[in-house]
Amino acid sequence: METRFATLGARGIRIVIFWLTVILVVAVDQATKAAMLVKLQDGPKPFIPGVLDLVLVHNTGAAFSFGEGGGIFFVLVALVFLVGSVFVVWNEPDLPVSLVIPIGLVAGGGTGNMIDRLMEGSVIDFLSTSFMNFPVFNVADICVTVGIALVIIGYLRWDRMRESDSASQNKSVSRGGFGHV
C-alpha cells in the first residue's frame, strides 16, 4: 500500500512542505505578537539584558518604517509574493526542498505581517536591540530576512549545479560519436 506522500509525487511534496512552512511561520508569528500585546501593556521589558528588549511598536510602514502609511500597497505586495511563491514551487519541476523552505519562510513572514495590516491597521513589532540603534522587528521580519538570504544562497548553489549538469551532458553528447559516419 502506497503512502499518501508517495502518491503526491515531487510536486505535491514540495507544495506540502511549502504550506507547512508558511503555516508554521504564521502561527509562531501571530502567537508571539498576541503574547507581546498582553505582556507589554505595562511598557518595555528587558529580554536579554544588554542585547534585546521587548518594546511594543505599531508600524504602519514596511522594513525600517519605510513607506509609512502604505498598508494596502504592502498587503498587495504580500499577496502577489504569496501567489508567485505557490506558482514557482508548483511549476518548477526540479526545485529543491532547500529552496522550498526558505521561500516558505519569506511567504509566511509576509503573510504574518499582512494579517497584522488587515486586522490591526499596522504591523506589531516588539524586538528591539539594546546594544545598537536598529528598528524594532518581529518574528515575521526575521523569517523574511533569513528566508531571503537562504533563497539567494540556495538559488546560486542550485544554478551552479544545473550549469554543471548541463556542461556534463554536453560533454557526453560530444563524446558519444554523434556526427560520425
Active-site hit among 116, 141, 159, 165: 141
Q: Reply yes or no on whether 141 is catalytic.
A: yes
- As a whole number of angstroms, the distance between CA 14 and CA 94 comes to 10
Active-site hit among 42, 53, 125, 159: 125
Phi, psi of 4 (to 5 degrees): -60, -40
pLDDT in tens, the chain (181 residues): 445 555 568 899 999 999 999 999 999 999 999 999 999 999 999 999 999 999 999 988 766 556 666 677 888 989 999 999 999 999 998 899 999 999 999 999 999 999 999 998 999 999 999 999 989 999 999 999 999 999 999 999 887 887 776 667 766 555 554 444 3
Contacts of 52 (CB under 8 A, 6+ apart): 127, 128, 129, 130
Per the structure block, which three cell numbers stand in for 100? 522550498
